[in-house]
């Protein structure tokens, strides 16, 4: 039997939050379930995991192979990833990073009595996945997620190429019961060499196990190519 070599994983999970004032923020519906399931599946297969997580309401998997790094904002997630990418073989970006943040954060709670309509000026946040190769200098196996509502394969393939990923896991987040804050997912796994594998709708724990199996296979294939 082919026993997989232990790999070092970094997995991002959950949403990030961008404050507007001390009590309000911009975020999204990510529950962290997909990223946490991946962390559990990788750890159960004997790999070590750094789990960089935004604020979520689900329990942290209890496993000695999992180290949690809790963050709140996109800047914090970027810094946590950048500091640790050099120590891992595989990076999976399953987090739903807030794409915009308010240009300025109000220092005090904005009172309804002082504010009528409120127009927020938003600016793009850092692209963590898109920075993994350059400027972060990551040479390991890079796995992105693509949350799409149309043209799933074409948009995901474009994202994979632009962000220089080895694998892109595409989920159609317009489908009820899968994607954001659901217990199940159904994904298309695109490989940079053109390969494609469809994982049917199943519990996120099951999808996560399959993804870890695919990543182990790709990593073994890489090591063989590098050794020959
Ligand atoms: O957390 P759950 O409720 O279980 O839901 C799971 C999920 C739907 C969040 C997950 O399966 C998923 O699709 N995660 C990616 C969500 C997303 O933000 O997709 P995107 O297509 O906008 O981003 C593409 C990739 O770039 C992702 O790997 C994302 O982590 C990364 N990204 C995006 C923006 C940004 N500023 N920095 C990033 O690193």
DSSP string for residues in 28-62: ----SHHHHHHHHHHHHTT-EEEEEE-S-SSPPP-
Please count the other Cβ atoms lying within 10 Å of the Cβ belonging to residue 208.
27
pLDDT at res. 4: 66
Q: Where are the domains of the chain?
A: 8-101+120-227
| Ligand 1 atom nearest to CA at 130 | 39
pLDDT at res. 3: 62
Q: Are 87 and 8 in contact (CB under 8 A)?
A: yes
54 in ligand 1 pocket by Cβ < 6 Å?
Answer: no
Q: Catalytic residues, which ones?
A: 28
Residue ranges of the chain with per-residue pLDDT less than 70: 1-4
pLDDT at res. 22: 97
144 in ligand 1 pocket by Cβ < 6 Å?
Answer: yes
CA angle 47, 31, 124 (to 5 degrees): 95
173 in ligand 1 pocket by Cβ < 6 Å?
Answer: yes
CATH topology of domain 8-101+120-227: Rossmann fold (3.40.50)
pLDDT at res. 2: 59
């Amino acid at each position: 039997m082919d026993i997989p070599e232990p790999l070092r994983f970094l997995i991002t999970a959950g949403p990030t939050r961008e404050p507007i004032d001390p009590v309000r923020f911009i975020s999204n519906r990510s529950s962290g379930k997909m990223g946490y399931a991946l962390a559990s599946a990788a750890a159960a297969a004997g790999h070590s995991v750094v789990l960089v997580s935004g604020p979520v309401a689900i329990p942290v998997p209890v496993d000695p192979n999992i180290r949690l790094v809790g963050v709140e904002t996109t800047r914090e997630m970027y810094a946590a990833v950048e500091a640790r990418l050099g120590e891992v073989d595989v990076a999976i970006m399953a987090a739903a990073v807030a794409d915009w943040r308010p240009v300025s954060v109000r220092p005090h709670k904005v009172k309804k009595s002082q504010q009528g309509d409120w127009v927020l000026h938003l600016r793009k946040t850092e692209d963590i996945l898109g920075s993994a190769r350059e400027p972060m200098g990551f040479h390991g196996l890079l796995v992105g997620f693509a949350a799409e509502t149309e043209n799933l394969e074409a948009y995901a393939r474009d994202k994979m190429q632009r962000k220089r990923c080895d694998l892109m896991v595409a989920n159609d987040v317009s489908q009820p019961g899968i994607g954001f804050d659901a217990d199940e997912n159904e994904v298309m796994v695109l490989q940079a060499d053109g390969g494609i594998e469809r994982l049917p709708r199943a519990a996120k724990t099951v999808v996560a196990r399959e993804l870890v199996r695919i990543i182990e296979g790709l990593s073994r294939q890489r090591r063989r190519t590098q050794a020959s």
